[in-house]
Structures are given as C-alpha cells and as structure tokens.
Amino acid sequence: MKWQPERDHRVMPWANGRGSTKEIAAYPSGDVWVWRLSLADVNEDGPFSQLPDTDRSLAVAAGKGMRLLVEGSDAREVGTFESVSFAGDLPTSAELLDGPVRDLNLMVRRTVESRMPYLEVRSFAKGEAVEPEDAVALVVLRGALTLTVSSAGFPYAPLRCRVDRFDAVLPADGVDGRLLVAADAVVAFAFLRSEDGRPAEAGRPAD
C-alpha cells in the first residue's frame, strides 16, 4: 500500500473556476482520466461544475453539510460523513447548511465497462484492523491509522507511518501492508462498482 499525506495531494482549479480541489488520485494520471478522487473546500452556495458523461459520488468530509439540488431530483441534505451519488452532467448546485464544508468526490467517466462511483464511510475503534477490500483508495476523515509495510521492495522493512486526517492510502500491486486504527477513526472507502454491484476491474493510480 502507498501512503499519501494531504500535503502531497495535487491542487487543481475547478472546471467552473469558482474554487480549487486537492486531487488525491486519478487513473490514468494527468488531465485525461477514467476515474478521479479529490477533496474540495466549498465556502459558499453555488453551482457545481458540469462534467459531461461523468457519474459522481460525494461525501461530506468536514463541516455541517449541504443541501444538494440536482436537476430532475428532489433536494437532498447530505450531513457530516454522509454520501450521495448523482450524474455529473446534470445542472447541480449546493446550499451550505451551516458554514463551509470540505467534500470528498469520486468521479468516473461513463465507459463500456459501466463503472459506477461509490463512496462508503465507516467508523472504526482504536486497535481495529482496516481492510482495503477492493477499494481504489482510502481517506481518513477523522482520527488516524498506522500503516505498516513489510515488502521485499523496501530495504528497511517493516516501514511504519501514521496516516492522519485527509491523508490517503492507495493500494499498490505487489506491496504488502497492514492498517490498524491508531485513534478512533472515520474512513472513506472509494469503490468502483459494475452495474450489478460487483467490483469493477479498476486501474491503479500512477505513483
């Protein structure tokens, strides 16, 4: 597994120019991606960027939450650590419930593989093990984890690091790792699912 601290997330402008986002991972890397995971700070009410042929899943990572208005659907309130999925190409806007929020966004281009973005937020107690399962990324929303890597690819194994709030863990092929909860934690799992609900064959972000 690969640890990526918040300071290493790539800062990029929103498509509509109204703010910026911290890109955690994308596949393939660069501006032309099949899927992308990012953190965005929303400081005022306003429209979302419209993204053609894209599906989105959003989770409130910090703050009281927002009221999401997607064209053709009823308004939905998304509270702290709650998530919602919607079509990224529909006109969408947000009304903040009580001050700024930070949200976690998983976006997937519509392709013949029919991958669907899905964010699942789970709570863990200190000492519990956290299994990545088939997630393409894990992001700590509260608390902290300890990542221990013991692989032939690391000359000083085992290597330990603390995964703090808004840090990410990216599963990497050929690298063995173990995640334990260092302090009671809330963790977001980013999944790509096929239409029948099974894990889709997903690419890994480039190192």
List, in order, residues 6 or more apart from 1 with CB less than 8 Å away.
132, 147, 149, 169, 170, 171, 172, 175, 177, 179
**Structure confidence by residue, pLDDT tens digits, 163-207:** 999 999 998 766 678 899 999 999 999 999 876 554 444 444 444
**129 Cβ partners below 8 Å, 6+ apart?**
178, 179, 180, 181
Indicate yes or no: pTM above 0.85.
Answer: yes
Nearest to 57 by CA among 38, 73, 29: 38
Amino acid at position 29, single letter: S
pLDDT tens column, 104-115: 999 999 875 667
Q: In angstroms, what CA-CA distances link 119 with 40, 46, 83, 137, 153?
A: 15, 23, 7, 10, 30
What contacts 29, CB < 8 A, 6 or more positions away?
205, 206
